[in-house]
Amino acid sequence: MDDFIGRRNLVEAQRLKALRRRSDARGLARLAGHLAAILASGAALYFTWGSWWGLPVFLLHGLALNYLYAAQHECSHWTAFESRRLNDVIGTICGFLVFWPHQHDQAYHFTHHRHTQDPALDPEIMGREGGALTRGGFLFSLTGLPYWVRRAQNLVRVARGDTSEEPYLTARQRPAIVAEARWTLLSYGLILAASLALQSWAAVIYWVAPVLLTKWTHQPQNLIEHTGMPHEGDTVTMTRTVRTNPILRYLLWNMPYHMAHHTYPGVPFWRLPELHAEMTARLPVPPVTAGYPDFIADMVRNLPSRAATPQAAE
């Protein structure tokens, strides 16, 4: 994806080359910090389980686990680390933990970058959870429930060898992604079998339940990036920058700087604040920016309560 540029003439070629430089040390430091947050919240959950204090700790633990997708996303671009192998290994582990197989996500995400906001080609729009973009569909998407239903259905379908809903896959990618879905399901099955044999709830308490039940903490980030943005123009006008706090920016590997990332996806996460500042200084108008509460309130206020009927559309 290094060759893709959403808008030219905003950053000089030599400066862009410098910004694109990867770093194993930077990636490993961020990964270590993220894993430390997961281990700390997991330990806190162990000591508070069964008490009311366990509820907020469970929420924080699930949030930190769900946000591992940010690490996976960066690995999909091969920008988390300088080593291509390290990107692939860490991306695969993160994908396993957040129930989104890495190779499949990488192909899906590559297509999303190539065809952002194109209703016919962008898979994020083609497979939008919650159906039509209505107020109810949007709020339902925020819960994370339709996300998990679709993710489970897709994983089982692809494991059966059916990739009919993935027109973006190449002939070379299809067998690899089918195999990935199969070994992923097999691995989940082995973990389940081991848990039953050992009569242990550890995998459920410290992994599966927090990821599944706190997806709603991650959905605002998933939806804010492009929902409600134009379907015409370029990455600058079709992508929203997110206004949030330093802690969430850290756990999201700087993905709130999403307009900068979409325009120059070859720039690693740790250079995105610089890139965003330089791009903003050169743009004739500030990039579209919103915080999560503003975005949700705006969507609820402006989306229709139900999809237009053909008669109404006429």
Each residue's pLDDT tens digit, 85-123: 999 999 999 999 999 999 999 999 999 999 999 888 999
Lookup: tokens for 27: 């990636």
Q: What pLDDT digit, counting tens, does each position of 177-220 carry?
A: 999 999 999 999 999 999 999 999 999 999 999 999 999 999 99
Average pLDDT, stretch 241-251? 97
**Distance between CA atoms of residues 25 and 107, nearest Å:** 26
Residue 177's nearest CA partner among 190, 187, 188, 166 is 166
Lookup: tokens for 39: 């281990």
Task: Give the pLDDT band (50/70/90) at residue 296.
Answer: very high
**C-beta separation of 280 from 287 below 8 A:** yes
Cα dist from 115 to 91, 125, 296, 313, whole Å: 23, 10, 25, 26
**Distance between CA atoms of residues 207 and 41, nearest Å:** 11
> Is residue 129 scored above 50 in pLDDT?
no
> Is residue 310 scored above 60 in pLDDT?
no
Average pLDDT, stretch 236-260? 96
The pTM of this model reads 0.93
Place of tokens 């330089």: 278
**Distance between CA atoms of residues 110 and 189, nearest Å:** 29
Task: Give the pLDDT band (50/70/90) at residue 3.
Answer: low
Question: Tell me, what amino acid is at 19?
Answer: L
Task: Give the pLDDT band (50/70/90) at residue 130.
Answer: very low
> Is residue 7 scored above 90 in pLDDT?
no
Q: How many residues are present in the chain?
A: 314
What pLDDT, on the 0 to 100 scale, is given for residue 311?
45
Q: What pLDDT digit, counting tens, does each position of 50-90 carry?
A: 999 999 999 999 999 999 999 999 999 999 999 999 999 99
DSSP-based three-state secondary structure for 290: strand
What pLDDT, on the 0 to 100 scale, is given for residue 308?
58
Average pLDDT, stretch 134-156? 95
What percent of the chain stands above pLDDT 90?
87
Beta pairing partners, 160? none
Task: Give the pLDDT band (50/70/90) at residue 307.
Answer: low
Average pLDDT, stretch 42-55? 96
Question: Tell me, what amino acid is at 229?
Answer: M
Residue 112's nearest CA partner among 288, 268, 261, 289 is 261
